[in-house]
Structure 1
Amino acid sequence: MYGVTTTQHEDELPPARGALVYDPVVCKAGEYQDVVGPYAMLRPVGGGREWQADPALIRPATPAECLSAEVKAANERAGRAL
């Protein structure tokens, strides 16, 4: 499992591509993309620029964090439609 107090062990599988995870460094949830070098690549819900995260620190997003990220994406889509 991913978490702030644990480190990733070699036998642990990374999250599935597209899974919502939480990055505590930037305090936001993102869609897991892949690992590139020492970094996990995350993308904002609804698309946007990927950011690098420490794979040892990311964890599955809580239901509240998922909802918050999805509402933010919906609000951004609505703003673009105007």
Structure 2
Amino acid sequence: MTAQKHEVGAIVRDTGRNRTGRVMGHEGPYVQLRPVGGGREWDARPGDLRPATRDERLSADVTAANARSTGRCL
């Protein structure tokens, strides 16, 4: 698969970690992602990323809203 440059702010699915995150930046060969509701960043390989589906974006938004409502961190 050809790696594409994902725009900062895009919501993507990291298929290597089975997580959805927001692109925060690029460092060397990696893309930095952060959970949609905030939290700890992780590095992902560009070849493991694809645009998140509508359902994946919705699920990430619900997870973030639930975390905010219970006062816990992601």
TM-score by length of 1: 0.81
Report the counterpart of residue 30 of structure 2 in structure 1.
39
Amino acid at match of 1:63: R
**Cα distance in 2 for residues equivalent to 1:59 and 1:67:** 16
What pairs with 1:1-82 in structure 2 (closer than 5 Å)? 6-8=1-3, 12=4, 14-80=5-71
TM-score, normalised on structure 2? 0.89
RMSD of the TM alignment (CA)?
1.3
Task: Please say if residues 7 and 57 of structure 1, whose CA atoms lie closer than 8 Å, have aligned partners that are also in contact.
Answer: no
User: Displacement, 1:7?
Assistant: 2.1
Separation in 1, partners of 2:6, 2:37: 18
- Which stretches of structure 1, 4 residues or longer, exceed 3 Å deviation after superposition? none
Amino acid of the structure 2 residue aligned with 1:18: G
CA–CA separation in structure 2 for the residues paired with 1:15 and 1:58: 8
Report the secondary structure of 2:48's partner residue: coil
List runs of 5+ in structure 1 lacking aligned partners: 1-5
